[in-house]
Structure 1
Amino acid sequence: MPQLSRADTSLVGRWWWSVDRVALMALAVLLGVGYVLALAASPGLSAHITDPRTLAMIKQIIFLLTGGVIMLGLSMLSLRQVKLAALGLGIVFYLLTAFTLLHGTEVDGAKRWLSLPGFTVQPSEFLRPAYIIVTGWCIAESRRTPGFPGRRAAVCVFLATAALLKMQPDIGMTFLFTMVVLSQFYLDGLDMKWLLVAGVLLVLAGLYAFFFISHVHTRVMMFIDPPKGSQAQTALMAFGNGGMFGLGPGEGQVKQFLPDARADFVFAVAGEEFGLFFCAFIIAVFAAIVLRALVRLLAEPNLFVVLAGGGLVIAFGLQAFVNMASSLSLIPTKGMTLPFISYGGSAVLATSIQMGFLLALTRKRHAGDVS
């Protein structure tokens, strides 16, 4: 395959020399890890193609391949195209998220999914990247256009989204959205006294959730005093069983006992089957993506890129931390997927959109490109 020249002015040529190729390679590695764990969680090669576990493996691999294509396509967008795509995506999936309250499929007391022929969709997953870009756009526009009430608009977008998620309910996603919008206001230079006020409100919201939301109370109490045989204890046993190098692909037993082994506790599956060094490698890849994006944003003169890109990568890193910390019993368990690695089509595709937007935002541009 011929190498692309720096003089190549085609769309692909301009993209290749402007995109963050280090982050792109790290994201490709995560997609590869997701592929490996999809195979590890499948039955033996002798299983029939109609076996539900085999079908689930095939679907996950298709989602990973589709996600990779989506991520590459979105990474070629201009800043203006990113804004318009996020706005359209946000409107559509906000309405679909609201639709789940009326006609959604209820699982464990929450209505977050829409049932379609052959699969289900969680619209709030797709709402996340759009929300982050729209709030960053509003805040940045308040500085770019004097008199434009961008900060108030960002707060209104946040409140409307948080209220919708609370009604599902989806406490984890609400927490993630809250932390992202606070980080964006912080990057914009918000006075520390308002951050302290926000911190106090978060603590009060946490206390309210503990005392008045039953499943939150249950998870916190199980974290403080875990009963024998709980999911958290089983996950920790999986890490112990795996040791330094793991039991081998497909040899782990944790997926036989944990109902959420392929999703919420996929990190425990990785620990049992591939060992400590493989888990450390996964953590290092996530850290490299987050740090690489933050370092790149430090030199970015465009405030919109800083706020939107910073929000996207903070959400990505925070989601990964919550999933892995839950598996290690460092925090109470929370139904939050590990990006690109946990099973689930909505999660994979939504994260692909999120990171495609990030790659588009962090591309090298001419100084005059501020649209």
Structure 2
Amino acid sequence: MTEMVFGAAPARVGDPILPRWWRTIDRWSLTAVMMLFGVGLLLGLAASVPLAEKNGLPQFYYVTRQAVFGAVSIVVMVLISMLSPAQVRRLGVIGFGAAFVSLLLLPIFGTDFGKGAVRWFSFGFASVQPSEFLKPAFVVACAWAMSAAQQPAGPPGRAISFGAMVVVVLLLALQPDFGQASLVLFSWGVMYFVGGAPFLLLGGIAGLTAMGGWIAYHSSEHFARRIDGFLSADIDPRTQIGYATNAIQEGGFFGVGVGEGTVKWSLPDAHTDFIIAVAAEEYGLVLVAVIIVLYCTVVMRSMARLTAERDPFVRLAGAGLAAAFGVQALINMGVAVRLLPAKGMTLPFVSYGGSSVIASGIAVGALLALTRTRPQGQIGEILGRRAS
């Protein structure tokens, strides 16, 4: 007897790859991702034109580039989603090694593009942000280490993953990139919790994180300025948060109309970090609600399918990838409505950016690969065999 999640047909040996992939993939999540990318292009048509004109470029320069990045991302996502869990694990471990080395080289060869944080490698025609590619690879590598620890005479995988997390978070904080550091820490914490970590240990880690935030506040002017701005009772209308907040208020329920928004002319990051403000102003709460539902669809569908998974690696890696994807979207939108301090984080598949879009494609491709339906024994049968 086998249990097929959501009634999908089991893959038959010898089936062609594409039909087998289509039967076993989570088509709801795949559709939601494609819709998010479509929304990103729609918003890019409005948000990126002022920046292109300001930089003396063709009006749809950034939209065209986003379409190219998106096409590459979708192809990569589909190809990765066809992999087996073992292949995802190998790809993640190799990718983590490459991204980690890139992160170490940033202080030497990286640039900040005048933003005060060295996060990118510039190649003239394009730039790459290693931390974007590090996130999914880190999750997969740590899930492998944690799952290996559950094997008889296995390595101390939890300790290894904890050490990797501490090193990565410190490297990101030194850039400084506290947004990505918090995302890495959160995804690791989710995997550690799913893996059965005691609450006392998780509480201790939370305490250490709070202490780290206190140290960062008193040692980093960049970090302190953002926290002070967030805690301030008054909002400076000339800041990015001020412009974004006003745009969201002006949009109301149905928005001011397509092309009628003004925030895109005031915000330098309207096409990236504050793209949701453009959506709220021109299309209103209706489009914002649709975007939230699409992200929730991917996260909730993935988590639901993972509950039937028996493989510890698949369960841990899938939970970490789904959590990172959802929380990144939550942070981006939370910053725009001033529920969270400004962190400079993109909205997956919607914001402009080659590194962000392609890395999101890699992460979701791995998530789709891990949540594909596979024959698995009924949990009652497994417990019955163990009891007998």
**TM-score, length basis structure 1:** 0.93
The letter for the 2-side match of 1:63 is: F
Is 1:193 the counterpart of 2:193 in the alignment? no
Deviation at 1:206, TM superposition (A): 1.6
Q: Find the partner of 1:122 among 99, 124, 129.
A: 129
**Residues 1:151 and 2:158 aligned together:** yes
Asked whether the 8 Å contact 2:46–2:264 carries over to 1, the reply is: no
2:174 paired residue number: 167
Aligned to 1:71: 77
Task: Note if contact 2:48-2:271 (Cα within 8 Å) is conserved in structure 1.
Answer: no
Q: Is the Cα–Cα contact under 8 Å of residues 209 and 217 in structure 1 kept in the other structure?
A: yes
1:200-225 CA-partner distances (Å, limit 9, x unpaired) = 11111121222221111111111122
Structure 1 residue aligned with 2:96: 90
Counterparts of 2:11 and 2:320, CA distance in 1: 31
Of 306, 320, 338, which aligns to 1:297?
306
**Residue ranges of structure 2 left out of the alignment (5+ in a row):** 1-8, 378-388
Q: Return the offset for 1:179.
A: 1.0
**In structure 2, C-alpha distance between the alignment counterparts of 1:199 and 1:87, rounded to whole Å:** 27
> 2:96 is aligned with what amino acid?
G
Change (3 A) 1:5 1:142: closer
- Any idea what SS the aligned residue of 2:120 has? strand
1:10 is aligned to: 16
- Note if contact 1:42-1:250 (Cα within 8 Å) is conserved in structure 2: no
For residue 238 of structure 1, what is the aligned residue in structure 2? 247
Label 1:153 to 1:6 Cα distance change in 2 as closer, same or farther (>3 A): closer
1:80 maps onto 2:89 in alignment: no
1:345-368 alpha-carbon deviations (Å, 9 max, x no partner)? 100000000000000000111338
1:251 CA drift (Å): 2.1
Distance 1:309 1:96, change over 3 A: same
- Look up the SS of the partner of 1:110 in the other structure: coil
Comparing 141-150 and 176-185, the one that deviates more:
141-150
Task: Report the Cα offset of residue 260 of structure 1.
Answer: 1.2
Q: Distance in 1 between matches of 2:335 and 2:328?
A: 11
Equivalent residue, structure 1, for 2:382:
none
Q: Does 1:362 align with 2:368?
A: no
Shift of 1:155: 1.5
Paired with 2:225 and 2:101, the residues of 1 have a C-alpha distance of 31
How far is 1:293 from its partner?
Answer: 0.8
Aligned partner of 1:262 in structure 2 is 271
**Structure 2 residue identity aligned to 1:156:** G
Aligned to 2:320: 311
Distance (whole Å) between structure 2 residues aligned to residue 359 and residue 182 of structure 1 = 21
**Matches of 1:337 and 1:52, distance apart in 2:** 23
- Corresponding residue for 1:51? 57
Find the aligned partners of 1:53 and 1:119 in 2 and give their Cα distance: 19
Q: Aligned letter for 2:316?
A: L
Tell me the alpha carbon deviations over residues 321-368 of structure 1, each in whole angstroms, 9 at most, x when there is no partner: 010011011111110111111111100000000000000000111338
Q: How does 1:278-289 map to 2 (within 5 A)?
A: 278-289=287-298
Structure 1 counterpart of 2:230 = 223
Task: Detail structure 1 runs of 4+ shifted over 6 Å in the superposition.
Answer: 4-8
Task: Give the secondary structure class of the aligned counterpart of 1:217.
Answer: helix
In structure 2, the CA distance between the partners of 1:188 and 1:53, relative to structure 1 (3 Å rule), is same
Give identity over the alignment, percent: 38
In 1, distance between residues paired with 2:17 and 2:97? 29
Is contact 2:325-2:348 (8 Å) kept? Answer: yes
- Corresponding residue for residue 276 of structure 1: 285
